[in-house]
Structures are given as C-alpha cells and as structure tokens.
A and B are shown apart, each in its own frame.
Chain A
Amino acid sequence: MKKVSIILATVLGLGLGVISCEDYLDVQPPFAQDAENYFNSPEDYELALIGAYDLLQASFLNIWIGEIASDNSIAGGESVTDTEGLHEIDNMNHDAVNNELRNVFRWNYAGVTRANYIMEFEDKIDFDGKAEIIAQTRFLRAYYYFQLTKYFGDIPLIVDRRLGAEEVTNIDRTSKSEVYDQIESDLKFAAANLPWSNPVKGRVEKGAALALLGKVHLYQDEFTDAAAAFDQIITQGNYALVSDFQNLWLADFEDNSETVFDVEYSGQEGGGYGCLICLEGNAAAGFHGPRQYEGPIYGIGNSYNLPTQDLYDAFDPNDPRRDISILDIEAFKASQPNPNDVSYVEGGGGHTGYYNNKYIKRKNELGLPDDDLTSPLNNKVIRYADVLLMAAEANAQLGNDGPALTYLNQVRSRAGMPSLSGSGQQLLEAIWRERRLELAGEGHRFFDLVRTGQAANEIDNFIPGKHEVFPIPQVEIDLTGNNWNQNNNY
C-alpha cells in the first residue's frame, strides 16, 4: 500500500506541478512580426511605407462626394437607399449619421496612423535613402490630413505617434489653422527631399508636394504662397498638357506629361462589395457606368454619380470637353449603326440620361472579370491643367492678370477653345468657370464652390454657415467620450 501511495503522490504531484508553471502558457506567435519590434532594416521602412500609400485608394470617395455634393451630379444607384449617405449629401440633408462621411473620417485617419507609425520609429536606424522615405511618408500624412480638414474643419491632430485606445477620450479637436501648419511643414519637408522625377510609376515626386502645398495655401486664401509654389512647378518645366484631352481618361495613357499626382489603381485583383477599401481597383470608375449595359465601348456599371443637365448645359456645345466628360447615353445609342445594339437599365436611385465619361469602365479596360470593382483607372488627384488653373487663380487674386490669363488660355487652347481676355473679378470668375468645365467629374467642384464662396448660389439647399464642412460623424463624437462640439448648425 505504501508503494502505491508513493506512486500516486508522485504522479499527482507531477500533474499539479504543471499548474503553477506559468510559462507553459506563454505561447509566442510563430512567424509573425510584432508591431513593437519592427523597423530593423531599410526594407522594413519601405514595406511600412507601402502600407501608408494603401489608404490613398480611399480617394474614390472624393470623386463621388466632390461631385454629388455639388451642382455637377446626382447620387444615382440601384435605389435611393443604395449607398444612402450619398443620396443625403446629394439632397444637402446629410447629418451626423452618414456611412460615407464616416468612411472618409476612418480611412484618412488610418492613413495618418500608418504614416505616424513610421514617423514614430523615424530615428530607430539610419541608412541611405531614409530622407526620401520620410519625405514620402510626410507627404502622405499631409494629404490625409488635408482631406480630413477639408471635409470636417477642426480635427484631432496626432503627430509622430500612435494613439492608445485608452487615450481617445482625452483628445480634442485641433483648430484648422494648426492642422494646416502641420500639413505645410510636412509638405515643405517633402518638397525639399523628394526628386523631381522618380522612375517608379506611382511614387510621389517633388512636383506633387509643391502642387499640394500650393493647393493648401489656396484653400487658406494665402495667394502669394500659393502662387509661389505653383510658379516653381511651372518654371521647372517638368510637366506639360497632353495634346489630346480624350487620352487623359484612358488607362493606357497614364503617367503622361500632365500627371502631377495620381492615386494608382489596378484591375488585376478582384474583390467584393463588402469592403471597398480592400479593393485595388477604382470603385468610382467601376460604379459610374450604365446598369446592365450591353453595347460597344463601355462596360456595365451601377449608375452612380450621374452628371446633371446643369453641368451638361454649362459647356459650350462646341467644347469637345463636354462629350469627353459626359456620356449622353441616348445620343450615344442613336449614333450607333444599329441603335438596338445598345441597351441599359435606369437605376431606381435617379436618372439624368448622363454618365461620367472620364471615370468609367471601358471594354478594353475590364481587367479581371469583376467588372465594377476592378477598374484600373487612376484617380488624377492633381494634373497639370489643375496646377495651371490654380496658378491662374492665385495670380488673378494677386492682381497678376497677365500670368493668370496665360495659364488659363493654355488650358483652353489645349481643348481647342478660343482664348479669353479680361481682368479683375471677371477674370477670376472666368477661371472658376473654366475649372468646372476642365475638371468636371473629377471630384473638385464642391470644394471649389465652398472655397470660393459660390456654394450657396450654385447648390440647392446649401445653407451658408453650415454646409461648408460636413458634420463630424456622431458616432465618432460618442466614441471619443462625447467631448467634441458638432460642427455649426448640424
């Protein structure tokens, strides 16, 4: 019996012994990298930088909201509840519950956070080429913050660090001017450390940093600084307008002399509607086409972001940019040798007869067969024509009518339109008008109208003192401890 007792006690003792061995439970993740022990080689920085670029692809929302909020287009879609947030923005009855605005908020902060993650470890190791990586990083952060402040005004400014979950209730909104200071400082660093030309398509260059810097100044009515930045780009002579306006909208002609800052998309990966931010394709272009379309040239779309009659009529009938920018579906159908070859269905979300003809799915750009989700068309966030028009505007504001007219007429003559003359307010308004025509369908219109104080005149239901910025998503206010004031009048 004694022997048995000893055996028993030993076995049980062994068993119970395990209990207090805490390290048995200390399992390490196999072959996975921990966020805190990263940035050990130049490659680590490079890979994290790619991660920071990723969120640029959220820019398809700008093409939608910048147009739909303005007098340029309506929301469209399958029904009035299809992406309902866009319909509300279209009607100017959007409020603090809006999925699309929330996505703008979340995705741009995700971009900021990825850039800040690199900046947090900026000094961990030194290597050749680090300055350029940091310059790209800071450009990206500036871009994301510019989006946020453009949409929401004052926003929390987090710099060079990641925020802990327990900290969120202590953060406040930072004034727009402070955010702009940070943006300018990032862009100046970027402009100073980026080359004029990078052989890799999609990498940001000095011109992009200067153009964005100028644009940021323009948004603050700092015309001297704006003009200086734009003039530096124009003087450098690195960019030129492409001769055929139509070519700009074809995937095959990307990375041309007019490209200043493109957000890159690819048609080489499928995807699902469930996660538009996961796509490598440009959802905006994919969604713009006619529903259940059958016929030549175009692919099938979801009838989103449909240009208005007002925009169509704004063009001189002789302006070739009208039909390049806007697809008049019935006219197109009638022009076919056999009109019955073309068929499509009107969406329940609204129908104008027009489709965005710049960002649209074309048959020869189908990529992998996920038609609406895999458009390879880049979003031309800043192209040289935009730089010229912004330079014209800044100069006109400063009274430099000469250069302003030169820049304006450069853009017009490329389109085959006669030169304009004029001065003062008349010239300024001509430049604004030209922006609408030249940049129609590209997501600039709403922000231009707000920036230049024309919004209340041009947009139905626009309430001055309210609609200049969008409301901070209510849930974001709640999640940060309900400490923030909502934007005025929301």
Chain B
Amino acid sequence: MEQLKLKLGRVCAAIFLLLSSSFLTAQQVTVRGTVTEAGNKEPLPGVNIVVKGTTNGTLTNLDGSYSIKANLGDTLNYSFIGFESQAKTVLKGGVLNVSLKEESTLLDEIVVVGYGSSTKKEITGAASKVDGAEVKKLNIPRVDQALQGAVSGVQINTNSGSPGGSSSIRIRGLSTFGDNDPLILVDGIVYDSEGLNALNPNDIESINVLKDATAGIYGVRAANGVIIIETKKGARNSKPQIEFSGFYGIQETTNRLDLLNATEYAIIKNNAFINGGQEAPFNNTSLGEGTDWQDAVFQTAPMQSYNLSINGGGKSSRYSIGGSYYTQDGIVGGDKSNFTRYNVRLNYSFELSDRFKLNNVALYTNESRSTLPENGIGSVLYNTVNAYPTEPLRQENGRYSYLNQVNDIINPLAQMENTFNDFGTNKLVGKEELIFTINENFTFTNRFNYNVALTDGKVFSPLVWYGPGKAQNTAANEDLDAPQVEIADSVFLDRGASVYEERNTFVDLTYESYLNYERTFNQDHKVKSTLGVSVFNRSGNGLSGTAFNIPNNSIDFADISANQADGGFLNNTGSFEFEERLLSAFLRAEYGYKNKYLLSAIVRRDGSSRFGANNRWGIFPAVSGAWVFSDEDFFKIDAIDFAKLRMSYGVSGNDQIPNFAYRALLNGEGVYVFNDIITQGVAIGRASNPDLKWETTAQFNVGVDLTAYKNWSLTANYFVKNTRDLLFQPEVSGVLGTYSAGGFPPFVNAGDVRNRGYELELGYQNNPVNDWQISANFNMAAIDNEVMSVPDGVDFIPGAQFGVGGDEATRFEEGQPIGYFIGYETDGIFQTQQEIDNAPVVQKGAQPGDLRFVDQNGDGVINFNDDSDRVNIGSPIPDFTFGLNFRVAYKGVDLSGNLYAAIGQEIIRNYERQQPFANQQAFIIERWTGPGSTDEIPRVTTGTTRNNVFSDYFVEDGSFLRVRNIQLGYTLPEKWIKSAKANSLRVYISVNNPFTFTSYRGYDPDIGNFGGVLSAGVDYGFYPQARSIMGGFNLKF
C-alpha cells in the first residue's frame, strides 16, 4: 500500500471541474402524511421522498409516515423499489397521504452496468439479470452453478461434481485459447472463478451479466463478458428482520456405468484372448456377479447448511449482517472429498451527512476442502471403471487386492483410504466506499477494495503398496519398507512417508474513483456521464516444503515439524512471489431523448504490467444505442406495452497470460546426474516476446426487448464476436531450442476466433390474483464457433490425447470449432474376409469384425500415419442450450423447478484403458462375433488391431436434458406461528438433479473442460454430479 500511496502522490495531470449550483427562494411549508401500499393499505416504510429538482429528501418511517419541508408549488416525488413512482404538487402545508401501486412490469428494475446503474428500460446493451431468490432456491454451494440454464448465452459446465469443484463459465462461447473466464465482480470487487467458493449463495441480492461490448467499461478484462454480483444490503427505516434458514440433504450419484460382471467379463476376455491368438485366461466362466467396484466406491453422502441473517436500517443507515455454515461430503470418498465453508458478512451503509454516504462491505470466509484424484488417468473413478470384477475388494489376508492384471490401475478403495489432500482458505474481502453527492447532478464515488486470501494445503503421502509394479506405490515393497535414496556416493537414506505443505498469500487491492453526472434538460433530454480511474494491484507469495519419514506412517504426525529424515536432507522447499498491476481510465457518456432514443459511448484506456514497455497500453471503445419504438405515435399494437431495439458495437481486451511472458527468465529445468546425484543447473524457461500485446474482441450485438399484455417479456439478441490476436503459445520451430524440460515456446499474438449466435429469453409473470402466483422463464441460445485463422506456419494446434500415448484427438484448426474432434469416420464392421478382400479401399491389417474406416481422400487406402483420412467427428460445443425455470404458488404452497438442456455436443469416451484385462462397459456384449452379428461394435481382441485408433466409435452424442431442481414448499399460516413471535416460516423439500435424459453412456454428460480449452468434451471418468434430496426451512422474525 505504501507504494501505491507514493504513486498516487505523484500528480502528473489534473483535471479541474467547475461545478455550479443554483439557489431558489420561496415560501416554505411542512408536509407530512403516510405512504401506504395501494392494494392492502399496509404502510410502506423506506419510501424515498424527494423535492423535485433539489437534493432535499426523506424516507418514510416504519409506520409509513413522513415529514418534509418544501416550498409551495414544489413537486414531491415518491419512489420505492418495486412500486410505481408518484409525483404530487405541494399546494399547502399539512397532511398529504399517498398510496403507491406495485409495478406491473419489470422495466424499472435496476440493472447494474458498471460504475453505475440503469433500468431495464433504459439499458442499451445486452444484459441479463438473475434474482437472488432464484439462486438461493437451488441450495447449491457455488453461485455460478445457479447460472446454468438461468441466463441465455451463459454456458456453465461443471468441471467436477466433487464438493467445492469449480465450473467453467462461458459467456457467448469460447473466444480464446487461454483463459475464457469472465470478469466476476462482487460488490465491485474482483473475484476469480475459483474464488466464488467463498460466496454464500444466500447472501446474493442479484446477478447481472453483461454480455456485449457495453461490458467494455471494464476494458481489458471484459472480453469474456462481465458478471456483476450484488450482495444483500438491507433497507433504511426498517425493523431488524431476522432470518434463519437451513437444510439437510442426502446425495447419491446421478449415474452408474453399466459394466461387465464377472461372468460376462470372463466370457469377453476369453473371446479377446482367443481372437488375439493367445490362450483363454478363464477355464471357467461361471463366476457369478463378481465384484461391483462402483458399488464399493459410490456412497450416499450428507450435506447441510445453515444461514442466519439480520437486515434492517435506521434513519440514515442500513445494514445486512449474516453468517453461514455449509458442508458437503462427496458421493465418492465421503469426507475425503469434503467441502466446508463458514462465513460472516457485514454490509453497512451510513449517511455521514446529507451529502456523504459511506458503504462498507466485509466478508470473511473460511473454507476447507479435501480432494481425491479425479478426472484423469489415475483418478479414483478411472480406476473404478477399469478394475476387473473377478478380483475381490480384499485379499484373503485382509489387504486390499492388487489388481495385478492391469498396468497402472490400482484398487480404488485403497487409493481413497491412502489419499490425504486438504486445502484451506481464509479470505477477507471488502470495500470502503465513500459517495459524495455534490449536487443533484453530480455524485463522486471513491472506493477502496481489498481481497486477501491466505491459502494453505497439506498433502500427506503415506508409504503405500498398491501391488507389484504400480507407479503409485510409495513403499519399496508389500511390507511398506521405505525406498532408499542415494544422497551422496554410497550414502543411502530411507525415503519414508512424506508430507507436503504450502502457505500462500494473495492480496488484491483496488482503488477506484469516479464521477457520475446526471441531468435532464427541458424534461426530454437526459444526459448521464461517468468519468473515472481505477488502479489495481495484485500480489502474492508462497512457501512450500516437503518433509519425509513422518513417524508411524500416520496422518496424525503429518506435519513438516515431524520430519525425521536425517539431517533434513530430503526436505524440498519452494517459494514464489509475484506482483501485477493495472491502471485504467474510463469515460462513459449517455444521452436519452424522451427515454425513447438512447445513445451511449464508452472509452477505456488500460495499462497492464503483463506486457512489456512496447505494448503496454490499450484503448477500448464501445458505442451502443436503443430505440423504444413502442413510444412512437405510429406504434399502434395494443398488446405490446413496450418494445425496444438495441444495437451495440465495441472492442474489449484480454490480458490473461502469465506475468513476464514478454521476457525470458532462467526458470527452465537444467538438471543432470553427476556422481549419481541429481544436480541442479539453470536453463531458460519460456522464450521471450517483447512485442506481446492485448488480445482484442470486437463484438456486434443487435437485440430487441418486448413486453406484452403486461405479463409477458421477451428479449432476443443476435451477436457476432470476433477475437483477434489470440494470446497463446503456438508451436515454434524446434531450431529455436525451446522444447526441453521446463522450456516453453514464447507467447505470441496469433489466430482469430469468431463466435456468432442468438439468444432468446421469454418470461411470464402473472398478476397475483386469487392467491395464485405463476411465473416462468424460458431461455435458449445457439452458438456457432469457428477458428478463423491460426498462426503462420502452423496448420493446427494439437489438443487432448486419446487413450494412453495415443493419437491427438482434439484440435484448434482453421475453419473448425475450437477443440473439435479429429479422427476416423467409421462405416460399420467388416463382416467377412471376402468383404475385406473385395473392398474398393485397402485397410491394412483389417480382419472380419474390425471397424471399417472411410477413405476420405479417395486414394483407395486408409492412411494411418497421416491426416488424409481423418476428419471432424464431433465438437464439444453444443448447438443449442435451453433453460426453463418456473414457479407456481397457491396460498401457502409453492412449487418450482429448473431445467437445463444442451443439445448437439459430443463427448469422447476416454475413460476406458485399452488393456487386455481392464474391465469394459456392458455394451461390449453386443460385439461382433460372426458375420451378421452386428454392424456397430467391433470384435474384441488382445492382438494387433486398428479398432483402438481414435474414431467416431469412441465419440458419443452428449446431448442431455436435466431436471436440475424441483422444490415444493409450504409457508405456514401466520396464526400457527404467531405464538412463536415469528413472521413467517416456510418448509420445503427439494430435489437436485432428479432426472437426466441422455444417451451418453458415461457418468455425466455435463462435463466441463478440466485441462483447458482443448480438453473440453474429453471424459476421463468424470466425477458425476450428485442427485440430492433435501429438506429445509426458512424462518423469519
């Protein structure tokens, strides 16, 4: 901070603003009265009453009463969120009672747009809003999961179903090679998507998503869209409202694979070995069901959460304080896969004087998470799927069985028992914001945000023996003797159980200062403007170490302090430190004529320390406009209450690359063995590129907003989003010498990607009549993603690998979607030798029962060592996504639901280890066994075959429709709970993920991209989402 102050102290330029104000004199009277709700005549506390054209204002008290001084002839404006505003002229002093009607449309809903707010009616960009109540309803640990199916054009995929697992958030598709996460702001504070774990979904007031170029007010980090989350703030002049809520639930897996049982397995394997010219391994195939590994690995697991919050406010203050507890065990591993969070929150807003208002937000979170290896070769589920059913869970001596017949596959139960990965985070996030209302036109906001995270991790690796030759063994033998390490010539040490620990600190500090101007001239001309600066500093440091020979091979002693290795020889320590900065200025100007013609322009200048001096600064402009054509005289359609046409175009940036990517550092790996000792040297790490610059996204959007019959709303958007100068590390010539251990090619700006698509949101909300409340909203989006160019000299960027050491299966290639699947197209199965011999295409090595590949280039040969017969056989990007949310309430009973569907994406079945003894899915029973048996599933064999090259046989349709949540609630009649002094009590039962409709054969079709953009749609044994049934309550005092 000291440094920041110093920098701030250096004045290099100054802008002086001339402010003016006018003073009026007239006869003053006192007006008082009560404001009530039009329907039920209940008093309305907290209604804002302002003398028009002045800053003179007040709020109604708890009983709805108010008192204000005004001049005769003044107009008083009565406004309250969710109600239609009213204006009354002061004709005399004394009593003036007013009743406000509830809003019939959502047009005046506040939309947060960045350094200011707007209304749904006035907004010129493409933005969507999700209400806090919708988020809360789902009873999920992470906010982002609530966005799935809630907002069109925002695609949320779960990266892992494990507790605390993150999601991938994509606003309008994949646009870059690297980081596609949007900018996430919580009360104006930057969060990364990982950090969303810290947020309690119950605390959320609203989520706004800026999807188009108007997000450009956030400049360099807005290219992937912006998500603005506001937390609950309380209301002025309201009684403290205490809310206590909680739920308890039980989870189970949404799906299990249909795997071979022991008998089926033995038959299939005998068949495979005989086909491979080897001896059948099973003399007797009547082996019964055998071991059901999935049954042993999956379990039911509890989850629960409790929240307490108090909201309210006084005359000049409002507050919202709360605390929560959330804990969830995993359906794989139980408490070995746990996520627990405690948080405490204080939002406090105080008017220091008429002109100065202080907003304070502070959130403290304590998270802990335990994890198991997941989503990859070596993960618990990968082992579970490949473990064979003829092996019992345990050997006769009580030890876990070894699964000797398969390479690298270990007993998943032993794996879970011996895995100890614990991570914790202590986080303090907040802001201090001072808003200075200079006069009725100018407000000046200064705020200081902080986000401090202390993370620590502990990984204990006991001495374990998973069986002979298993790479995961840490012991030297079955007796768990420690392996020996030679630390000097003929000096050996035991390398026993080890513990790795790390402690990291990350600090984000942001200072922002901006001036808002708003004025209406001659009633019709509304001008708004925002001018401001932002200074951002992120720093971090960390220490890590490993200690060996932990006593007793026990987690009880798993701490570096318990290190027993002689002389500390085996301690590995590490550390890091970094700092990065952003410096920005922004200007937004808006003009509206009669609220009918709306124009807005934005320009932002950003500087980032991630780039070298050559290209440090970027300028990001955007313009947008809207036309409320329903306000035109010629517009005569009565059914349509409101209609608006919007258009926007603008450029935003992306700087998501590692620090110092522009220069070469000696952080490569230069290690060799001298005197049998591993000796460290130095080597260049990543090659330099001093000319690195921003990646830019230019986006065009056209859209329309309609409301009809008061209750229906519709929003539609079409957009084209071109991302240029992609920041990434394409391959470079080997002659540059960057390919070695710890060496990497330079980052460059190269490649273009285009996303085009449309979005539709349809909403309905009835006027509550006869105690019926009905609301529903449906949304859909379609995206077409295409790589427009790749770096010079590169035909494509290879992505994920299929199988072990196998073909590359995904690519970034011109004319194709990002991460599309490339492989062989199949055309049935060769039924007879004669068919092979007579085929017009030569497929070397083919035998009856083998897949017949398609000769794409027509040269009469299937080429297995080049690309000439490989084509696009799928894409992980869905053609369409749909979301449907509904709520029906009658008197005290309410029913709500949430559905999500993604249609047209493919998934690579990559969780099967192609090994002779690995277990397989039961569909293999339908394999080819002789002419005419099947034209879909090839024969099994342990011999040489091309059936395992990457082809569409391994690609499955990943389309799915999932009912994500159904909830049935009952609000108890008031008279029942009055005796308990409670205001309301609602109880509910809720089911998450009750149904999934899909033809995908893996665990879960809703898979994210665990290992980067090019790993999307590659299923390594994905940790599936849980189906959970929960019972909960919500009590208000």
Contact = CB atoms under 8 A, between A and B. Distances in A.
Contact of A280 (B577, B673, B735, B866): B673
A144 to B, nearest CB: 10
A95 B19 CA distance: 76
B397 interface: no
Interface in B985-1031: none
A31 B666 CA distance: 11
B672 A35 contact: no
A403 B81 CA distance: 104
Q: Which has the most chain A C-beta neighbours within 10 Å: B9, B669, B804? A: B804
A273 B741 contact: no
Contacts of A376: 676
Contacts of B608: 25
B513 to A, nearest CB: 4
B674 A264 contact: yes
B468 A83 contact: no
B680 to A, nearest CB: 7
B473 A369 contact: yes
A56 interface: yes
A302 B471 CA distance: 12
B865 A8 contact: no
A54 B122 CA distance: 64
Interface stretch (A220-228, A343-351, A439-447): A343-351
Contacts of B584: 19
B673 A264 contact: yes
Interface stretch (B223-231, B399-407, B814-822): B399-407
B737 A201 contact: no
Contacts of A302: 407
Contact of B14 (A13, A106, A112): A13
B942 interface: yes
Interface string A334-365: 00000000000110111000000000000000
Contact of B865 (A97, A171, A372, A482): A97
Nearest to A203: B674
Interface string A385-409: 0000000000000000000000000
A162 B737 contact: yes
Q: Which has the most chain B C-beta neighbours within 10 Å: A52, A116, A156, A165? A: A165
A110 B737 contact: yes
Contacts of A95: 865-866
A312 interface: no
A105 B734 contact: yes
Nearest to B489: A201
Contacts of B438: 4, 8
A371 B467 CA distance: 12
B946 A78 contact: no
A21 interface: yes
A19 B670 contact: no
Interface string A438-474: 0000000000000000000000000000000000010
Contacts of B748: 165
Contacts, number: 359
A280 B678 contact: yes
B568 interface: no
Interface string A277-291: 110100000000001
Contact of B803 (A57, A81, A114, A349): A81
A369 B579 CA distance: 39
B867 A97 contact: yes
Nearest to B915: A78
A345 B916 contact: yes
B607 A25 contact: yes
A331 interface: no
Contact of B10 (A17, A110, A117, A481): A17
Contact of B613 (A26, A52, A113, A367): A26
Contact of B681 (A8, A47, A169): A47
Nearest to B273: A346
B673 A265 contact: yes
B684 A202 contact: no
B672 A202 contact: yes
Interface string B502-517: 0000000001010100
A168 B732 contact: yes
Nearest to A4: B438
Nearest to A371: B469
Contact of B12 (A17, A107, A478): A17
A280 B671 CA distance: 8
Q: Which has the most chain B C-beta neighbours within 10 Å: A26, A110, A291? A: A110
Contacts of B513: 11-12, 15
B14 A266 contact: no
Nearest to B944: A80
Interface in B794-811: 794-795, 803-807
Q: Which has the most chain A C-beta neighbours within 10 Å: B406, B682, B945? A: B682
Nearest to A164: B736
Contacts of A29: 578, 659-660, 663, 665
Contact of B949 (A81, A109, A475): A81
Contacts of B87: none
A113 B865 contact: no
A297 interface: no
A161 B735 CA distance: 12
Contact of B734 (A9, A84, A102, A266): A102
Interface in A194-231: 200-203
Contacts of A116: 737
Interface in A12-39: 12-22, 24-27, 29-36, 38
Closest 9 CB pairs of A and B: A113-B737, A50-B681, A51-B670, A13-B14, A300-B469, A110-B740, A51-B683, A106-B739, A369-B473
28 contacts: A8-B444, A15-B8, A15-B513, A17-B11, A22-B607, A24-B583, A29-B663, A29-B665, A32-B660, A35-B666, A47-B680, A50-B682, A54-B740, A81-B805, A81-B806, A84-B865, A106-B740, A111-B737, A114-B683, A114-B737, A163-B737, A201-B675, A268-B486, A268-B677, A345-B917, A348-B276, A376-B676, A479-B734
Given A346-B942, A348-B948, 11 more contacts: A19-B12, A48-B681, A51-B668, A51-B682, A97-B866, A113-B736, A158-B735, A165-B689, A273-B805, A292-B917, A478-B795
Interface of A: 1, 4-5, 8-22, 24-27, 29-36, 38, 44, 46-57, 77-84, 88, 93-95, 97-98, 102, 105-107, 109-114, 116-117, 156, 158, 162-163, 165, 168-169, 171, 200-203, 264-266, 268-269, 273, 275, 277-278, 280, 291-294, 299-300, 302, 345-346, 348-350, 366-373, 376, 473, 475-476, 478-482
